[in-house]
Amino acid sequence: ITEKQALAQANRAGFEAKSLADALKAVGGTPATSDQVTVVAPDIAENGAVVPVGATSNLANTTEIHLLVEKNINPLSASFFIPAGTEASVQTRLKMGQSTNVIAVVKADGKLYSATKETKVTLGGCGG
Amino acid sequence: MADPMRIRAAHKDGVTEVRVLMSHPMETGQRKNAAGDTIPAHFITEVDATHNGKSVLKAQWSTAVSQNPFLSFKFKGGAKGDKLAVKWVDNKGDTRTDEAAIA
Amino acid sequence: MALDHADVLAATPGAGERLYDVPKFGNVSFLHFTDCHAQLKPIYFREPSVNLGLSEALGRPPHLVGEKLLKHFNIQPGTAQAHAFSYLNFEKAAKTYGKIGGFSHLATLVKQMKASRPHALLLDGGDTWQGSATSLWTNAQDMVDACKLLGVNIMTPHWEFTFGAKRVQEIVENDFKGKIDFLAQNVTTADFGDQVFAPYVIKEMNGVPVAIIGQAFPYTPIANPRYMVPDWTFGIQDENMQKMVDEARGKGAQVVVVLSHNGMDVDIKMASRVRGIDAVLGGHTHDGMPAPVIVKNPGGQTLVTNAGSNSKFLGVLDFDVRGGKVQDFRYKLMPVFSNLLPADKEMEALITKVRAPYEAKLNEKLAISEGALYRRGNFNGSWDQVICDALMEVKGADAAFSPGVRWGTSLLPGDTITYELMMDQMAVTYPATTLNEFTGAQVKEIMEDVADNIFNPDPYYQQGGDMVRVGGFQYTCAPTAPMGQRIQNLTLKGKPVEADKKYKVAGWASVQEGVQGEPIWDVVAGYLRNKKVVKQVKINQPKLVGVDGNPGIA
Ligand SMILES: [Mn+2]
Ligand SMILES: [Mn+2]
């Protein structure tokens, strides 16, 4: 096992964390809420297996974006590493078993900031 | 061997927008098959996107990323015709790289 | 409230000239109907006596019923207008004023309005292809042809999607091509998010460029089966809405109107967030609103209307556009009284033709109803109760759930329930009935989930229907409580429902794929034929707490 592989494995420990608190610890600690961070997630998910989730940071020198789904067994879902020249804005699609907060944690100038959005996962089946 | 990715990379006003659809089951390791056996986890763990050989985004994923993952991001620069490459590695060590020309 | 002599006079010939006298105004006009739910023939339709508004929506239109609604909009009680807009005195007033709607009568009114406003565009807010036996049996073709004949210019969809993506595209690309613009800014492909339908069109009226943006029902794949539209994604998408408004203005549009199927509360919130929309002509929540709600936003103001359902109303919005912008407006929502508007011959001929192969089946007499049958209201209606009773009896269930949809026509006491009138309540493309064993905890979870879709204080988390209709189980509902605490004191035959105990619950119209079961119309038709006479039904209503004095409850 090379040093690089060992580092990669250590970095993945956050994905095993079973609580939001532990997941946050793994990405570096408790973030400060910031209105410069936006979580993009639907109010109501059309399909819990494919929920479009993204995040944008307007903070200078943003180097990391982490997406966490609070109520999933393992909240930390995806981490993005942003080199200089790449915009601090990413989008993907995540699985959610139930209604939950979605949290974006960003690292900018070495400090952590976050924003939260609630996505409802519903049984559906009514309408006008 | 997994199916090729579908990559769209488009340049506008100095910024290149990249959108990728990968073909992968993204098994969580929590599901059971009809016989009641657990389907082993099988998911992309790492993604690396490069423009002309220079990394423009790296990602680490868990099983929470949806089946046939979608990824979108933007970077400064890039020119029409440049090569944009995306590589993924999964937890079984499988890997796949696909390229697209920036439009 | 009894009808007096003057009201009866109001229902006589000649009254129409007063009701439908809308003086010409301005230079840009829109005619709007929505949620006709495939009702080609005149029908009865009872407006709701319960339409609760909570938080910001408390007491705000459309959450006003009965006398409170009349008072708010300054409508004289005991008049044709009062009958059209409220449930008050429904049975007697319906007899006095006769049936409402019907495409032949609607067509006459459209022609009358166009006579004074030849430039007017006719907009259809959707839920047009679904809701009747003939639309189901003709795979929506009867409505497609009727809308073309009516002269619809633009439409946006919701229940249209329950005919499947392929059928929708076939109609848009063939029948509608060059005739009806089918718009939806918020429907995109599930892979790369490409636009599926045109988001807007720009048309010219009297030299004024006007943009119409389409907004399909944002929660179609949740409220209806997702497997019908597997490759498309929806949502409110107000950022993209803003982009479309700006783009249309950039191309020179001096008026921007959104033809929306969001539902009225969602439209009001969207209008407060998006700049540059002059009016949202809305539907989905079936609210017959005599006047628009005026929403202030950073771009100025936006009118938000909702035009009822079942081809009962036609809205006329006139704009005076000068100096490149809207200076003033007039709006009127006119009830379509079939006795006051003669049938348009061409439309009547089309309707007669499309119905001909089905007349015998449509006219089958299933039973007589002793009481009035209707559906609208937040919690339950007598028609829904009949459906729940039928499900429980035929399926041998302890309880039944029936979806809280807002379409479905009404019957007066003593009316015959024909096959057609029954189908008005249940003509859907996923009619399978089910019998499930749910634990008490699951029952509560299902009811809480639906309750939150109606009573969530944020309209963007609502889906715009009504509470699931419940047979068997009794409960207390606290609409203002948070999710998980709205459903209380669940009982079955006087005994508390136990969380771990299993109950047999019948239902229909599941949104899951592959559900098998007798269609709901077979279950209910069998029940009705057997009963012959449906006695006055006892409507299972929850006990409500925390909504005393709410003007959305009679
Ligand atoms: Mn409708
Ligand atoms: Mn609708």
Q: How confident is the model at residue A7 (pLDDT cuts 50, 70, 90)?
A: low
C236 and C298 assigned to the same domain: yes
Query: Is C399 part of any domain?
Result: yes
Q: Is the dihedral of CA A102, A108, A112, A115 positive or negative?
A: negative
Query: Mean pLDDT score of chain B, rounded to an integer?
Result: 96
User: How far does the centroid of ligand 2 lie from the alpha carbon of residue C516, in Å?
Assistant: 25
Kindly state whether residues C531 and C459 are assigned to the same domain: yes
Q: What is the DSSP letter of A4?
A: H
Q: What's the number of domains chain B is made of? A: 1
Mark yes or no for CB contact A128/C284 under 8 Å: yes
Is A50 inside a domain boundary? yes
User: What's the whole-number mean pLDDT along residues C71-78?
Assistant: 96
DSSP state of B4: P
Residue C483 shares a structural domain with residue C411? yes
Q: Is A113 inside a domain boundary?
A: yes
If one counts the domains in chain C, the total is 2
In the prediction, which pLDDT does A124 show?
Answer: 72
Nearest CA in chain C to B21: C191
Number of domains comprising chain A: 1
As beta bridge partners, residue C491 has C474, C496
- Chain C residues within 8 A of B19 when measuring between CB atoms: 192
Q: Looking at the domain assignment, is residue B44 inside a domain? A: yes
A82 CA to centre of ligand 1 in angstroms: 46
Asked if residue C92 belongs to a domain, the reply is no
* pLDDT of C4 higher than 70: no
Q: Give how far C227 is from chain B: nearest CA, Å.
A: 17
Q: Can you give the residue range of the structural domain that contains A26?
A: 3-119
Q: Tell me, yes or no, if C217 comes closer than 8 A to chain A by beta carbon.
A: yes
Question: In angstroms, what is the span from residue C218 Cα to ligand 2's centroid?
Answer: 10
**What count of other Cβ atoms lies within 10 Å of the Cβ of residue A10?**
10
Q: Which helix (H) or strand (E) holds C109?
A: helix C103-116
Residues of A with Cβ-Cβ distance to C458 under 8 angstroms: 43
Does residue A92 belong to the interface with chain B, where contact is any CB pair within 8 Å?
yes
User: Chain A contacts of C235, Cβ < 8 Å?
Assistant: 42, 46
CB pairs under 8 A between A and C: 80
Report the b/e string of C250-284 with b at 16+ CB within 10 A: eeebbbbbbbbbbbbbbbbbbbeebebbbbbbbbb
With bands split at pLDDT 50, 70 and 90, how would you rate the model's confidence at A126? Answer: low
Q: Do B59 and A81 make contact, defined as CB atoms within 8 angstroms?
A: yes
Residue C267 Cα distances to C36, C173, C295, C449, C479, angstroms = 19, 29, 10, 22, 21
Three-state DSSP at A123 gives coil
- How confident is the model over C482-540, as pLDDT tens digits? 999 999 999 999 999 999 999 999 999 999 999 999 999 999 999 999 999 999 999 99
Residue C5 in this model has a pLDDT that exceeds 60? no
Residue A60 identity (one-letter amino acid): A
CA distance C471 to C487: 15
**Per the domain annotation, does C474 fall within a domain?**
yes
Q: How far is the CA of C210 from the centre of ligand 2 (A)?
A: 25
Q: Which residues of B touch A93 (CB under 8 A)?
A: 65-66, 69-70
Is residue B87 in a domain?
A: yes
| Closest C-alpha among C182, C257, C188, C248 to residue C218 | C188
Task: Return the pLDDT at A10.
Answer: 57
User: Separation of C130 CA from ligand 2 center, angstroms?
Assistant: 10
Q: Judge whether A124 lies within some domain.
A: no
State mean pLDDT over C378-400: 98
Residue B1 lies in a domain: no
Query: Between chains, do A46 and C35 touch, taking CB under 8 Å as contact?
Result: no
Q: What is the ipTM of this complex?
A: 0.91
Please report whether residue C458 resides in a domain.
yes
Q: Classify residue A128: in a domain, yes or no.
A: no
Are C265 and C323 in a shared domain? yes
Q: Has residue C46 been placed in a domain?
A: no
pLDDT-derived band at C8 (thresholds 50, 70, 90) equals very low
- Report CA-CA distances (Å) from C261 to C186, C303, C305: 11, 15, 11
What integer pLDDT is reported at residue C9 of this predicted model? 46
Question: Given CB atoms, is B10 within the 8 Å cutoff of chain C?
Answer: no
pLDDT at C152 over 80: yes
Find residue A57's DSSP bridge partners.
Answer: A37
pLDDT of C221 higher than 60: yes
Q: Please report, for the domain that includes residue A28, its CATH number.
A: 2.60.40.2470
* DSSP structure string for C25-48: -SSEEEEEE---TT--S-BB-PPP
Q: What is the chain B residue with the closest CA to A86?
A: B75
For the domain that residue B80 is a member of, what is the CATH number?
A: 2.60.40.10
Contact yes or no for A104/A37 (Cβ under 8 A):
yes
Residue C515 lies in a domain: yes
**Same-domain status, C136 and C245:** yes
Q: Which residues of A touch B70 (CB under 8 A)?
A: 52, 91-93
Between chains, do A126 and C236 touch, taking CB under 8 Å as contact? Answer: no
Q: What is the CATH number of the domain that holds C531?
A: 3.90.780.10
Q: Is A31 exposed, middle or buried (0-12, 13-18, 19+ CB in 10 A)?
A: buried
Structural domain contains residue C525: yes
Domain interval for residue B49 = 6-101
- Judged by DSSP in three states, C101 sits in coil
Instruction: State both tokens at C20.
Output: 């439908």
Position C397 in a domain: yes
Residue C207 neighbours by CB under 8 Å, 6+ apart: none
Q: Are residues C507 and C409 in the same domain?
A: yes
Range of the domain at C130: 29-37+118-337
Q: Does a structural domain hold residue A10?
A: yes
Residues measured by CB to lie within 5 Å of ligand 2, the ion: A 128; C 127, 158, 284
Yes or no, beta carbons of A126 and C468 under 8 Å apart: yes
Q: What tokens were used for C164?
A: 């499947």
Q: Which amino acid is at C392?
A: M
